[in-house]
Amino acid sequence: MALAVAEDLSFAYPSSEGVALRNVSVCLAPGQVTLVLGRSGSGKSTLLRAFAGLVPHFHGGRFSGRVEVADLDTRRHGPARLAGTVATLFQDPEDQVVFTRVLNEVAFGLENVGAGAHEIEARALDALASVGAEHLAGRLVTELSGGELQRICLAATLALEPKLLLLDEPTSQLDPEAAEALVELAVRLARDRGTAVLLTEQRPALPLEVCDRVLFLDRGRLVFDGPVRQARTWLQEHHPSFVSAGGAGDEHHRRAGEVACRLDRVSYAYEDHLLVLDGASLELRRGEVVALVGPNGSGKTTLARLAAGLLESLSGSIERRGRATYLSQDPGRYVFCERAVEEVAVGIGGDLTAARRTLAAVGLAGYEDRHPRDLSSGERERLALAAVLAPDPDLLVLDEPTRGVDPERKRELAGLLREDTARATLVVTHDIAFAKAVADRVVSLAPDRELVHA
Amino acid sequence: MRPAPAAALLFGLAAAALLAQHTVSVAVLALVLLVVCLRAPASRRWPYLVGALGSALALFVLTPFVERLPGTVYWTGPTIPVVGTLDVTSTELSGALFQACRLAAVSLAFAAYALWLDHDRLVQAAGFARRSVLAVALATRLVPALERDAAGLVEALRGRGVEPEGLRGRARLVSPLLAGSLERSINLAEAMEARGFGRPGSTRLPQPAWGLRERLALAGAMAAVVVGALWL
C-alpha cells in the first residue's frame, strides 16, 4: 500500500512563466528508498516540496492534480499539519537553523508537533546519537562546520520519526565518508522503521548503489520511473554522465609549466588560535589542474584562501605570480548587480563583451539580462564561476564549484577548466568523481593537516 | 544566570536610564553596561559597540544645532533659511550630553542582551507570547548574520581582484546584504513551517526552577526602575 501519492501533479511558481512540474504521477511505498535525478532546474526540489505540502501552501502558484501523504490531502492539510508525518532536510543547512544551541534546534520540531514535554530531550539526544553527533548537543550552531551543521539538521528531521523523509541534496556539503554515512543511515531507516525516503542528489554514484528505485525528471516531466537496475541501463543510454565514474578512462598527461603559486610550510590559525594549517606546502603550476580533497574541517578552504591571497599566513612563505581569482563556496555572494552580465563584468572593469563571452562559455548564453537572484542554485554556481573566469587569471582557485551542479554540467565544467593551458587551477572539492574528471593530480588534506599528493 | 531574569535586569537598567533626570546617573548606568559589553569576545562586540557609541556620539554632535536653548554662547555660525542662526550654548551642550548618555545606555543594554543572553533559553522560558519572543530572538541574530554576510561579500569581491574601499565601496554591499537577509528569512520561514511551527498544541522542553540568583536579578530589575524614577 502506498504511503504517499502524487497524481497528475502539475505546478508553476507564481513568479515564473514556466511550469516546474508537469503531470507527474508517483506512488511511494513504506520502506522504499527512492532517488530523484535530473538536471538543475528539472523540478526535483519542487517535487519534494509538494510532498511536504510547501507547494502550494508556502510558495503559492498554480497547482493541479492531487498529492496525499498518509491519507492527508496536501491541498487541505498544510506543511505544519504534515510535519511529523513528513520531515524535510533542505539543501542549505545554514538557512534552516532556528536556534543557536544544537539541542534546542533538534528539539524545535518535537515541540511544534506536541511531543510529550518529558520525552523531548531524550528523543532529541537519540536523534543526535543516530547521526553520530551526540557530543555536539551543548554546542552553538555557529561554531559548527558545514558538515556538522548538515548532520544536526538531519537529526532534527529524524527526531520527528517521520513516515516520509525528504532529503534534498543532503550530501552536497559533506565529505565522501560523511556522505556515505548519511546515505547508509537513510537506508537503515527505511529498512528498520519502514520510513519511505525520497532523496535528490547531484552526486548519484553512492545513492545509486543503495536505493530501490529511481525517478528521472526532465523539465518537470517524469521521464523514467523504475527499479535501480533498470535505471542504470536507462541512464547509461540517455544520461551517461549520471552513471559514469566521472573521469573513468580519461588519462591526464599534461606538461605543467612554470610555477604560478608556491606555498612553503605555511601555517594559519583563526581567532580561536587553533592551528587550522600547520606547515603545509603546495606548488601549483601553469597548465595543471590540482584537486584538493579532504574531510570536513581539515583546512581545505583556508589553504585555498591562502593560495588566492585572501588570507595572510602566520608562518611560512607564499609566492604568487600573476593575478589570482577565488570562487567562494556560496554562489549567493555574486549578486552585486541587477543583470548577470554586469555581475560577471565586475572583475574586468565593466567589459560587457568579455562578460557575455564568459557567460556563454559556462553555458549561460541567453541569461545576460536575468537578475542573479532569479537563477536556480546550479545556474548561480555557473554565474559565480563566470565571474572569476572573466578576469582570465593566472591562478584560479575554486572552492566547491560543483554544489548543486548536475552531472552533465559537471562534465562540461571539467572540460572548460581543462581547456586553458596557461592557467594554474586549484579545485577544492568533496566530489571525488569530479576531482578525477578534472584534475591532473589530487592532493589530500588529511585530518592531521598533512598534505598527501597522489 | 538564567536568561529571563537577566533580560529583566537589563530591561530594568535601560528603563532606569530613561527615567533618570541627572546626567551623572545616566552616565554611570551607561558605563556599567559598557563594562558588561566589553567583557564579550572582541570579534562579536565591535558591531554593537560601534552602533551604540556611534549613534550616541552623533546625537551629541547634532543636538546643539537643532535645539534652541538659552545659555552661554560658545559658537555662532551662519544663518540658514527656515532654521535660523546656528549656535551652540552651554545648555544645549549639557542637554546633548544627557540625551547621548541616555541613548548609549539603552543601546548598550540591548548590546549586552544580544551579546550575553542565551536566546534559545529565553524562548524556552517564555510562558506566553512565545512567537513574539522567538521573533525577537531571530531579529537579534540579524547583526551577527549581516556581519558574516558582509565578510562573505567582501571576500567574493576580493576574490575577483576588487577591493571594496571607502564609503562608496562599502555602500555597494548594502543592497546585496538586504536582499540576502530577505532571501534567508524566506528560506527560514519555509524550514520552520515544514517543521510544524504554528501548529496548535505545541509543547516545550521542561525548564529547571529559578534559583536565588534569578530571584535576586528580578528584584534588582524592579528596584532599578523604582530608583531610576525616584532618585536618579
Q: In terms of C-beta density within 10 A (0-12 exposed, 13-18 middle, 19 or more buried), how is residue B94 classed?
A: middle
For range B114-124, the mean pLDDT: 75
pLDDT value, residue A248: 44
Instruction: Quote the pLDDT of residue B182.
Output: 87
Is B41 a member of any domain? Answer: yes
SS3 A295: coil
pLDDT above 90 (res A308): yes
Round to the nearest angstrom and report the end-to-end CA distance of chain A.
50
Question: Does B43 touch chain A if contact means CB atoms closer than 8 Å?
Answer: yes
Cell for B208? 529547571
Is B187 within a domain?
Answer: yes
Residue spans of the domains in chain A: they are 4-242, 247-323+393-454, 337-391
Q: How many CA atoms lie within 13 A of B183 on its CB side?
A: 17
Query: Shortest Cα distance from B80 to chain A (angstroms)?
Result: 39
Residues of A in contact with B207 (CB under 8 A): none
**Which residues of A fall within a CB distance of 8 Å from B204?**
111, 117, 120
Contact B166, B140 (CB under 8 A): no
Please state which of the ranges A6-20, A262-276, A307-321 shows the lowest mean pLDDT.
A262-276
Flag whether B209 is in a domain. no
A4-242 CATH choice from 3.90.950.10, 3.30.70.2190, 3.65.10.10, 3.40.50.300: 3.40.50.300
Whether residue A20 contacts residue A46, with contact meaning beta carbons closer than 8 Å, is answered with yes
Closest-CA residue to A401 (of A362, A347, A446)? A362
* Element holding A43 (H helix, E strand): none
Chain A neighbors of B176, CB-CB under 8 A: 333, 335-336
Judged by CB atoms closer than 8 Å, whether chains meet at A111 and B204 is answered as yes
| Pick from A82-91, A264-273, A415-424, B103-112: least confident | A264-273
Q: With H, G, I as helix, E, B as strand and everything else as coil, classify residue A447.
A: coil
In a domain, B93, yes or no: yes
Question: Which ipTM value was assigned to this complex?
Answer: 0.84
Helix (H, G, I), strand (E, B) or coil at A335: coil
Pairing of strands A259-269, A221-227: unpaired
Nearest-CA distance B133 → chain A (Å): 12
Q: Which residue has the higher pLDDT, B57 or A272?
A: B57
CATH number belonging to the domain at A247-323+393-454, selected among 3.40.50.300, 3.40.50.1000, 3.30.420.40, 3.50.50.60 = 3.40.50.300
CA of B6 to nearest chain A CA: how many angstroms apart?
18
Q: Does A327 touch chain B (CB under 8 A)?
A: yes
Per residue in A109-149, pLDDT tens?
999 999 888 899 999 999 999 888 889 888 888 778 777 88
* Tally of domains within chain B: 1
| A90 vs B: CB within 8 A | yes
Residue A447 confidence class, pLDDT cut points 50, 70, 90: low
Most confident stretch, A170-184, A341-355, A396-410, B132-146: A341-355
What percent of chain B stands above pLDDT 90? Answer: 22
B54-98: per-residue pLDDT in tens? 999 999 998 888 888 888 888 888 887 777 778 888 888 999 999
Bridge partners for A426 per DSSP: A290, A397
pLDDT of residue B75: 81
Q: What is the Rg, in whole angstroms, of the alpha carbon atoms belonging to chain A?
A: 22
> Is residue B94 in some structural domain?
yes
Q: Do A112 and B175 touch (CB under 8 A)?
A: no
The verdict on a CB contact (< 8 Å) between B195 and A108 is yes
Where in the sequence is the domain holding B127, given as residue range(s)? Answer: 3-198+218-230
